C-alpha cells in the first residue's frame, strides 16, 4: 500500500496518536512535577502515624556523683479509646464505673476518682488517639496486679510503665533541684514559638518547673524517639516504617556543685536552729515566728555553691503523678511560701553583715582609713540636726545604752559598733552636702560588691535585692504619695537614711546569696564570682564527653587595699574568745586553732507587726568564712524572726562548719531518704547559743 492518500491518512492517525501521548505527558508533568509535593504531603498525612516515645530525663547528681534525682518506673493506667469506642454504651458505662471504683479504692487519701473525671480525661484533646489515654499515673502496685489478673473484666484498660522522677533523699535540696510538671498552656504557647526541632514537645510532656530542673531543661530533657506506622485508609497500623524509627535518647546528667552531705548538714543546721530559736523567750513571747530561713555555702575560690537550704521545704516526690488540690494549696500558701528558695528568691535587710560593704565604701571614698578610731558612747548625735532631740540621737539598738569606748575599724567589726558606721554614713552624706561627692557615692561603691543586682546564679527567679539611693527614694515616694508636696517631703533623702544604710537597715535588701558572695569576694582577696550550682554536664550515665558549660566567672575584681588585713582581724575577732566578738560565745569549744572561722553577725530589725503593733523579732544573720586566711568555705545563714545574729544564725553556721572542721563530713552517710527530726537533733546539739546585745 503506497498511495499518497493512504500515507496522508496514516499521517493523520499518527498525529492524533502523537497528540494523545503528548496530552498524557503533559498531565503526568502537571501531577508529578508541578503538584508532586502537595500530593506527597497529603499521602504522608494520610498514610503515616507517628507515635512519640518519651525519653527519660537526665539524672541530677551532687559534685561527688551522689544521685539526687533519678528516674523510676511508675505504673500508668491507660484506657484504649479505640477499643472503648467499639463497646456498647452500656458496657462502656459499666467498665468506667468499675474502673473508677477500683482506682478510688486503691488510692486512699486521694480524692475519689469519678466516672465523670474518666470521661473528661478520655476526651481530652491533648492525648493522641493512637496511644491509650493515661487516666492514673503512679498507680499503686496492687492496682496494677488487679488490672492484670482481672484483665477480662477490664477490657481496653492497661497498666503500663512510665518513667517518672524519683528523689532518693526526698526533701534534700528540693529548692535547688526544683520539680517537673505537666506543660501548662503558657509553657506550651512559649514552646510553640521556639522551634525546638531537636527535642520537640508534645502537649502531654513534662517540663522542669523550677530550680535546676527548669534552668537546665534543655540538657535534662531527653530526645524523644518515634515509631512511624504506616496506616491503611481506616487508620489501622499496617506495619512499622523501621527506617523512620528513632530510639529515644535520655537527657544529660547534670552534676551539681552541691555536696549532698554538706547540703544535708546545712539543712539540719537551718531547721535545728529555727527549732532552738522558737524555744527562746523574747520580749514578744516565744519566737514562734522563727519558721523560715535560708542558708547557703559557697566556695570563695570559684563561686560554686556547695549547699543551699531553704525552709520551709517540701518533698518533690509529692508532685510526681499529680498532686491533690489541697496539697498544692499548702505548697503555694502565700504566707508560708514553701516553694520559695529563700537563699536567692527573697531579699532581707542585711543588718550588720552589711558593714563589710559600708567599710569598703568608706575606704574607697577616703572617709575612713584602717587606723580610723571612733568614740562609741552607745549613741550617735547627728551633727547639725535641727529636729527634736530624740530624732537626732541614733542609739545603738542592741547595746542598751552602753558604749564600746574608742573603737578602731577592726574592733568596730569584731564588736559590731553601730556608732562607728553611723558616723561613717553621716560623713559620706555630709561630704555630698559639701559638694565633694555625688548623692549616691556610698551606693555606687556597694554595688561593686554585687548588692542591688542579681548574682547571675544558674537558677531561675533570683531577686536582685535593693540598694536604696536618693533617686530611688524620690521615685518610690511618688508611687506611694499621691500629694506631690508629701511625695517630695517624704522622698527627700536625709542623713538618717545614709546612717541606716551604713548598718544595712532602712530600705536596704539583699538575698542571703548576695551577702555570702560579697564575703566570698573579701575572703578570696577580691574576686567577685558569678555563683554556680552546676559543675558539669555529661551524657546519661556516661563520664564524657562533657557538655560545654561556662566555667567560674569573675564578675568584678575588688581592691580591698591595705585595709584588708585590718578587716580580716576584725572578722576573725568575731568568733575568737576574749575579744568581745559578737559570736565568740557561739564558737566556744570550736577548734578555731585548726579551723579558724572569721565572720560577721547581723541582727536586722524587721519593723512592727501590723496586728500587735509591736516590733517583730529581729532576723538573725551570720556569715562566716573559713579557714579565715585561706578561705575555702563561706557559709551564710538568715533566719527570719529568730533574734540576734548570735542567737540563731551563728550557731547554725557553726553546725555547718563543724563536720568540715573535724573532718567527719567525708565519712558521713546521709540517712535513708534524707530524713531527720530537727526536734531530736535540737535536744542533742551542744552548739552554744549566743546572746543578743553583744551585736
Partner 1 sequence: MATTYQHQRRTLSPQRRPMATLRRNPASPFRHVDLVLLGCIATVNVIGALMVYSSTRGPTRPYDLSFLKKEIMFLIIGNLVMAGVAAVDYRRIRDFAPFIYGGTLLLLIGVLVPGIGSRAKGTQGWYQVGQFQLQPSEMAKLGLIIGFAAVAAQFRGDIDPRRLGVLLGVAGIPMALVMLQPDLGTTLVSAAVTFALLLVAGIKPRYIGVIALIGALGTAGVLSSGVLAQYQKDRLTTFVAQDSPTTQKHARNDAYNLEQAKRTIGSGGIAGKGVFNGPQTRLGNVPEQHTDFIFTAVGEELGFIGSATLLALLATIVWRVWRAAQLARDEFGTLVCAGIMAMFVFQIFENVGMTMGIMPITGIPLPFVSYGGSSTITSFVCMGLVLSIHMRRFS
Integer Cα distance of 451 and 443 in angstroms: 9
Spatial contact of 456 and 555, defined as CB atoms under 8 Å apart: yes
Residues 4, 10, 533, 577: which binds partner 1 (CB under 8 A)?
10
Residue 158 CB, shortest distance to partner 1, in Å, is 24
* 42 belongs to the binding site for partner 1 (CB under 8 A): yes
Q: How far is the CB of 202 from partner 1 (least distance, A)?
A: 23
- H/E segment holding residue 375: strand 374-376
33 vs 667 by CB, closer to partner 1? 33
Distance CA 315, CA 190 (A): 28
Residues 606 and 350: their CA atoms lie apart, in Å, by 11
Closest distance to partner 1 from the beta carbon of 27 (Å):
5
Nearer to partner 1, 3 or 335 (CB): 3
Minimum CB distance to partner 1, residue 241 (Å): 8
Using CB under 8 A as the binding rule, whether residue 546 contacts partner 1 is answered as no
What is d(CA 652, CA 640) in angstroms, rounded to the nearest whole number?
Answer: 13
* Alpha carbons 109 and 45: distance in angstroms, whole number: 45
Q: Does 29 bind partner 1 (CB under 8 A)?
A: yes
- DSSP H or E segment with residue 499: helix 495-502
Three-state secondary structure call for residue 626: strand
- Should residue 480 be labelled a site residue for partner 1 when binding is judged by CB under 8 A? no
What is the DSSP code string of 213-258? HHHTHHHHS-B-EEEEEEE-TTS-EEEE-GGG-B--B---EEEES-
Query: Minimum CB separation from partner 1 for residue 324, in Å?
Result: 47
| 244 is a contact residue toward partner 1 (CB under 8 A) | no
Per-residue 3-state assignment (H helix, E strand, C coil) for 508-537: CEECHHHHHHHHHHHHCCCEEEECECEEEE
Q: Is the peptide bond before 255 cis (omega within 30 degrees of 0)?
A: no
Instruction: Please pick, from the candidates 4, 33, 578, 672, the single residue that binds partner 1 as defined by CB under 8 A.
Output: 33
Q: Does 6 bind partner 1 (CB under 8 A)?
A: yes
Strand 253-256 relative to strand 553-557, pairing:
unpaired
Compute the residue count for the chain: 695
CB of 48 to partner 1, least distance (A): 7
* Cβ 309 to partner 1 shortest distance, Å: 58
Size of the site for partner 1 (CB under 8 A): 40
Backbone phi, psi, residue 308, to 5°: -150, 115
Q: Between residue 203 and residue 242, which ones bind partner 1 under the rule CB under 8 A?
A: 230-233, 238-239
DSSP line for 138-175: S--HHHHHHHHHTTTTSTTEEEEEEEEEE-TTTTTTHH
Q: Is 31 in the site for partner 1 (CB under 8 A)?
A: yes
Q: At its nearest, how many Å lie between partner 1 and the CB of residue 245?
A: 16
Closest Cα partner for 669 from 265, 222, 365? 265
End-to-end CA distance of the chain: 129
Q: Does the protein bind partner 1 through residue 38 (CB under 8 A)?
A: yes
Candidates 30-38, 143-151, 249-257, 534-542 — which segment interacts with partner 1 by CB under 8 A?
30-38
Q: Which is nearer to partner 1, 47 or 490 (CB)?
A: 47
Q: Which is nearer to partner 1, 37 or 195 (CB)?
A: 37
Name the one range near partner 1 by CB under 8 A: 41-49, 137-145, 419-427, 495-503.
Answer: 41-49
Note whether 245 binds partner 1 by CB under 8 A.
no
Q: Which is nearer to partner 1, 7 or 614 (CB)?
A: 7
Could you list the residues that contact partner 1 (CB under 8 A)? 1, 3, 5-7, 9-10, 12-14, 16-17, 20-21, 23-25, 27-29, 31-33, 35-40, 42-44, 47-48, 230-233, 238-239
Amino acid at each position: 500500500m503506497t498511495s499518497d492518500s493512504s500515507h496522508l491518512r496514516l499521517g493523520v492517525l499518527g498525529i492524533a496518536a502523537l497528540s494523545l501521548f503528548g496530552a498524557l505527558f503533559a498531565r503526568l508533568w502537571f501531577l508529578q512535577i508541578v503538584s508532586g509535593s502537595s500530593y506527597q504531603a497529603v499521602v504522608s498525612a494520610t498514610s503515616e502515624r507517628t507515635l512519640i516515645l518519651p525519653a527519660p530525663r537526665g539524672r541530677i547528681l551532687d559534685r561527688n556523683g551522689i544521685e539526687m534525682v533519678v528516674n523510676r518506673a511508675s505504673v500508668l493506667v491507660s484506657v484504649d479509646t479505640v477499643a472503648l469506642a467499639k463497646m456498647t454504651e452500656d458496657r462502656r458505662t459499666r467498665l468506667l464505673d468499675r474502673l473508677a471504683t477500683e482506682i478510688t479504692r486503691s488510692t486512699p487519701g486521694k480524692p475519689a476518682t469519678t466516672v465523670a473525671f474518666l470521661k473528661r480525661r478520655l476526651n481530652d484533646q491533648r492525648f493522641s488517639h493512637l496511644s491509650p489515654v493515661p487516666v492514673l499515673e503512679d498507680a499503686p502496685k496492687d492496682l496494677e496486679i488487679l488490672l492484670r489478673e482481672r484483665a477480662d473484666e477490664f477490657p481496653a484498660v492497661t497498666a503500663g510503665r512510665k518513667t517518672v522522677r524519683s528523689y532518693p533523699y526526698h526533701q534534700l535540696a528540693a529548692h535547688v533541684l526544683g520539680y517537673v510538671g505537666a506543660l501548662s498552656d503558657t509553657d506550651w504557647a512559649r514552646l510553640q514559638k521556639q522551634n525546638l526541632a531537636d527535642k520537640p514537645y508534645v502537649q502531654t510532656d513534662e517540663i522542669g518547673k523550677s530550680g535546676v530542673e527548669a534552668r537546665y531543661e534543655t540538657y535534662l530533657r531527653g530526645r524523644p524517639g518515634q515509631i512511624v506506622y504506616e496506616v491503611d485508609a481506616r487508620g489501622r497500623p499496617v506495619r512499622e516504617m523501621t527506617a523512620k524509627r528513632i530510639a529515644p535518647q535520655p537527657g544529660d546528667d547534670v552534676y551539681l556543685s552541691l555536696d549532698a552531705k554538706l547540703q544535708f548538714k546545712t539543712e539540719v543546721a537551718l531547721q535545728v536552729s529555727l527549732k532552738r530559736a522558737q524555744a527562746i523567750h523574747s520580749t514578744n513571747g516565744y519566737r514562734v515566728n522563727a519558721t523560715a530561713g535560708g542558708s547557703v555555702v559557697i566556695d570563695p575560690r570559684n563561686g560554686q555553691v556547695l549547699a543551699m537550704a531553704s525552709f520551709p521545704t517540701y518533698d518533690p516526690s509529692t508532685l510526681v503523678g499529680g498532686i491533690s488540690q489541697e496539697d498544692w494549696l499548702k505548697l503555694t500558701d502565700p504566707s508560708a511560701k514553701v516553694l520559695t528558695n529563700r537563699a536567692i528568691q527573697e531579699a532581707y535587710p542585711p543588718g550588720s553583715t552589711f558593714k563589710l560593704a559600708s567599710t569598703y565604701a568608706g575606704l574607697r571614698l577616703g572617709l575612713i582609713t584602717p587606723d580610723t578610731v571612733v568614740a562609741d558612747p552607745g549613741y550617735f548625735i547627728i551633727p547639725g540636726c535641727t529636729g527634736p532631740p530624740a530624732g537626732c540621737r541614733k542609739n545603738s539598738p542592741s547595746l542598751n545604752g552602753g558604749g564600746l569606748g574608742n573603737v578602731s575599724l577592726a574592733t568596730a567589726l569584731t564588736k559590731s559598733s553601730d556608732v562607728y558606721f553611723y558616723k561613717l554614713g553621716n560623713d559620706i552624706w555630709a561630704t555630698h552636702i559639701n559638694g565633694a561627692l555625688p548623692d549616691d557615692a556610698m551606693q555606687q561603691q556597694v554595688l561593686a560588691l554585687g548588692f542591688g543586682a542579681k548574682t547571675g546564679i544558674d537558677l531561675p527567679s533570683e531577686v536582685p535585692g535593693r540598694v536604696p539611693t536618693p533617686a530611688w527614694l524620690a521615685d518610690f515616694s511618688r508611687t506611694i504619695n499621691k500629694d506631690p508636696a508629701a511625695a517630695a517631703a517624704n522622698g527627700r533623702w536625709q542623713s538618717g537614711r545614709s546612717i541606716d544604710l551604713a548598718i544595712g537597715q532602712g530600705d536596704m535588701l539583699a538575698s542571703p546569696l548576695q551577702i555570702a558572695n560579697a564575703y566570698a569576694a573579701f575572703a578570696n582577696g577580691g574576686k567577685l564570682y558569678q555563683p554556680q550550682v552546676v559543675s558539669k554536664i555529661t551524657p546519661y550515665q556516661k563520664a564524657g564527653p562533657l557538655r560545654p558549660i561556662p566555667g567560674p566567672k569573675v564578675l568584678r575584681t575588688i581592691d580591698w587595699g591595705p585595709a584588708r588585713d585590718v578587716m580580716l582581724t576584725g572578722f576573725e575577732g568575731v568568733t575568737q574568745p576574749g575579744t568581745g566578738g559578737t559570736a565568740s560565745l557561739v564558737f566556744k569549744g570550736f577548734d578555731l586553732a585548726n579551723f579558724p572561722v572569721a565572720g560577721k553577725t547581723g541582727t536586722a530589725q524587721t519593723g512592727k507587726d501590723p496586728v500587735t503593733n509591736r516590733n517583730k523579732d529581729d532576723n538573725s544573720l551570720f556569715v562566716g568564712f573559713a579557714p579565715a586566711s585561706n578561705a575555702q568555705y563561706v557559709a551564710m545563714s538568715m533566719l527570719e524572726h529568730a533574734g540576734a545574729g548570735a542567737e540563731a544564725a551563728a550557731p547554725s553556721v557553726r553546725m555547718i562548719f563543724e563536720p568540715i572542721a573535724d573532718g567527719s563530713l567525708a565519712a558521713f552517710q546521709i540517712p535513708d531518704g534524707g530524713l531527720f527530726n530537727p526536734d531530736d537533733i535540737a535536744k542533742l546539739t551542744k552548739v552554744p547559743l549566743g546572746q543578743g546585745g553583744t551585736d
